[in-house]
Amino acid sequence: MTVTAQIDSTRPVATLINVFSVSPDRQSELIALLARATEETMRHQPGFICANFHASQDGERVINYAQWESEGHYRAMLTNPEARVHMDQAAKIAHDVQPRLFRVQSTHQRRTHRDAGRP
């Protein structure tokens, strides 16, 4: 079963948003490394839900939007030696890495025709 990111303020997940600053000529390399690390290691860690990678159009940033079942699961992954190897490799490509955990506070969607008349 494939699980995708669900942004929902009622779900008690730990959301990691990690901003990597990178040289435009290395952006693709960083995304490839992060995708490989996720397939080989991160997705097998207890509590992992999903990871998504976003490339800025100017080539200078990569955003990792990931979800973990809990902050504890995320913190446990940080102590895993195999995961650390991948994180250290990413830190060598990027010139700044800023991981932060977040909680979804509010979500908003465009209303559809089916929503007409509903509050």
Domain ranges in the chain?
23-103
What is the structure's pLDDT at 108?
Answer: 84
What is the structure's pLDDT at 110?
Answer: 85
Q: Nearest 5 degrees, angle CA 48-CA 52-CA 57?
A: 160
Instruction: Indicate the pLDDT class of residue 111, thresholds 50, 70 and 90.
Output: confident
Distance CA 86, CA 94 (A): 12
Distance CA 64, CA 51 (A): 7
Under DSSP, is residue 77 helix (H, G, I), strand (E, B) or coil?
helix
Amino acid in position 53? F
What is the structure's pLDDT at 28?
Answer: 98
Which pLDDT tens digit goes with each residue over 43-65? 999 999 999 999 999 999 999 99
What is the structure's pLDDT at 12?
Answer: 79
Q: Burial letters for 97-115: b for 16+ Cβ neighbours within 10 Å, e otherwise?
A: beeeeeeeeeeeeeeeeee
Which pLDDT tens digit goes with each residue over 68-85? 999 999 999 999 999 999
CATH 3.30.70.100 assigned to domain 23-103? The reply is yes
Query: Nearest CA to 87 among 28, 26, 24, 42?
Result: 42
